[in-house]
Amino acid sequence: MRMSRLLRFSTSARAHSPTAISRSMTSDFPTTHLGGSAAQVQVGKVGHGLMFMTWRPVPVPDEQCFGSMRTSLEHGVNFFNSGEFYGMNPGEANLDLIRRFLDAYPQHAEKMFVSVKSASPAAEPALRQSVANIRAHLGAKKLDLFQCARVDRDVPIEGAMQMLEKLRGEGLFDHIGISECSANTLRRACKVAPVAVVEIEVSPFAYEEETKAVIAAAAELNVAVAAYSPLGMGFLMGAIKSRSDLEQGDLRAHMDKWSEANFDNNLRLAEALQAIARERGITPAQLCIAWVSSLGSHVIPIPGSS
């Protein structure tokens, strides 16, 4: 995968309008395949994160969300990442956004591969209820991939995978994903049931030894990596210069990278990366997305799209 091809797809703050994205895309946008039971599913080499469209004090207007989602689909970006709890009121606001989008643009339903995380514990009644809730909010759109948001410490991964495979066998969703796991946990999970996607944070701000180990294990096991927050949740793009730039109630204000103790040091690191991007005549977002994608043919950066 050549980085130059991905650099054509800008997800900078100014490129979220349909017009801007259209000018930066070409018809030969790179693709890859998912893993496990979804090995035949082809997706764009960049995905589309939906979380911060709704998980914020003031959700992004539908018109802006729909323009971003529609343009992604029209240009080959078809892996959409959502969550049952990606909203402040109600928690299912992100799923409702997807339903409203497909009500308005039903022709995109088959193109759109939707991955949804659940915050439920890995016990069968809770998982079953979560799946039913997600399906109800999605409406006519099928649930392509279901995953727990975290590995349940009280339930061995083998037991969790057995329950997920049972639900999948009932036709409640098509594929299984795992989120925020170690390489060892991924290996254990794949011995029980096919894992299509493992979701972990990957960016120039998040590339620890365990991250490298998960990416390597996923390649060995034929599992795709959904790399969330490749832009450091916006930190690396250069738009935010101080903590006061965050709107009141922004979830990022409570995260370690954004804390008062760490902000200034991290800002200097972000500025150094932005300087590298300027030298190459590209945006910091393009640089981060291309770098994350270059970590493997199975690695799919899913930048936020708000």
Mean pLDDT by 10 residues, the chain (306 residues): 46 32 51 97 97 92 96 94 95 97 96 96 95 98 97 96 98 98 98 98 96 98 97 85 78 79 89 95 96 98 88
Residue 220 located in a structural domain = yes
Residue 14 located in a structural domain = no
Residue 255 located in a structural domain = no
Residue 18 has a pLDDT of 29
Residue 282 has a pLDDT of 96
CATH (domain of 93): 3.20.20.100
Residue 240 has a pLDDT of 80
The residue among 193, 235, 207 whose CA lies nearest residue 292 is 207
**173 burial level (CB within 10 Å; 0-12, 13-18, 19+):** buried
Using the Cα atoms of residue 295, residue 196, residue 106 and residue 84 in order, give the sign of their dihedral.
Answer: negative
CB of 119 closer than 8 Å to CB of 152? no
- From 86, 105, 207, 228, the catalytic residue: 86
- For the entire predicted model, the pTM comes to 0.88
Indicate if 228 belongs to the active site.
no
Domain total in the chain: 1
- Domain boundaries, position 59: 31-232+284-301
Residue 23 has a pLDDT of 30
Residue 181 has a pLDDT of 97
Residue 81 has a pLDDT of 98
| Alpha carbons 211 and 217: distance in angstroms, whole number | 10
